[in-house]
Structures are given as C-alpha cells and as structure tokens.
C-alpha cells in the first residue's frame, strides 16, 4: 500500500460509481497543473480530453486565475482574461485522465457518462541541484515536482422527453 492518500476523503465517494487515478512526482509546473485541473473540473470525460488536446495544439487557452502576474490576455476566455497554453501540464493531466478512464473501463462503468468531480494538483518534493559559480561558490537550484489527482464519477442516465 502506498504511504500517500488522496486529498478527497473516502466518505464523499460512492465506491461503485467512482474511479480514482493519480500521477505522483510528475516533472511539471504545479502552478500550471493547478490551473488546468481547475478548468477541467466538472467536465465530462470526452469534453476534458478534447479540451486538453486543443490546449496542446495551442488552439484554446487555459484561464489563469491565481498565478497570472505576467500572463497576457488571450482571445476566447469567458472567466478572467489572463491565459496561457501550458502544453506540458496538459499532456500530464491528459495522461492521468486516461489512466482514470482505464480504471473505469476495468470496473465496468459506462465511459460516456463519466464526469470529473475532483481534479487537483499540488506541489510534491523538491529536487536539489547546485549550479557552480565563479570563485569556487555555488548557487542552489530547486525543482518542485507535482502531484496530480483525478476522481471520475458515473452520472445517472438522463431521461429523454418525447
């Protein structure tokens, strides 16, 4: 068993209808990954996969709401105007999302009705490096890794009105 857990508690989830997946110690910016996760939370599985592929092709921007100090405005944003195209973060989030989809398939859930109910990214451990400088000195250079979590839930069937 792993020593880490999820940031969402087990009491909030129905084990027959939900699936979880996580990427641990991913080499991606936790700030970009947080904004990507915030954007796709609440989307269906197909919508989120399409959106992330468009972000990787730089066709749709991700709105930056928290880490937006020098982010330029992007065309086509409804909430907030600062945005970026975090390709690396979108690629890793898509990878975790596809792992959750595989878990749902393995559990026998209907993939067409899956919705993202929890998407989170937060900083992981730091990798220490030292850059040699002049006069025999060195400067520290830290790289922060990132944890990405996804929880998908099967939505009830909608009744068609005639």
Q: How many CB atoms lie within 10 A of CB 29?
A: 20
pTM over 0.95: no
CATH topology of domain 19-154: Ribosomal Protein L22; Chain A (3.90.470)
Q: What's the pLDDT score for residue 161?
A: 58
Q: How many CB atoms lie within 10 A of CB 18?
A: 22
Q: pLDDT for 64-80, tens place per residue? A: 988 888 888 888 887 77
Q: Which contacts (CB < 8 Å, 24+ apart) does range 48-57 have?
A: 48/97, 48/116, 49/94, 49/97, 49/98, 52/90, 52/91, 52/93, 52/94, 52/97, 53/94, 55/85, 55/86, 55/87, 55/90, 56/87, 56/90, 56/91, 56/94
């Amino acid at each position: 068993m792993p020593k880490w857990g999820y940031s969402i508690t087990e009491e909030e989830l129905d084990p027959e209808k939900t699936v979880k997946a996580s990427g641990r110690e991913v080499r991606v910016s936790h700030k970009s990954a947080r904004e990507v996760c915030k954007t796709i939370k609440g989307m269906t599985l197909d919508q989120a996969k399409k959106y992330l592929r468009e972000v990787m092709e730089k066709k749709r921007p991700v709105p930056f709401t928290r880490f937006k100090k020098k982010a330029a405005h992007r065309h086509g944003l409804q909430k907030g105007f600062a945005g970026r195209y975090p390709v690396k973060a979108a690629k890793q989030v898509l990878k975790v999302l596809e792992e959750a989809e595989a878990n749902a398939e393995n559990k026998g859930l209907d993939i067409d009705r899956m919705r993202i109910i929890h998407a989170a990214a937060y900083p992981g451990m730091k990798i220490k490096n030292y850059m040699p400088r002049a006069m025999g000195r060195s400067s520290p250079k830290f790289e922060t890794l990132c944890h990405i979590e996804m929880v998908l839930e099967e939505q009830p069937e909608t009744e068609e009105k005639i």
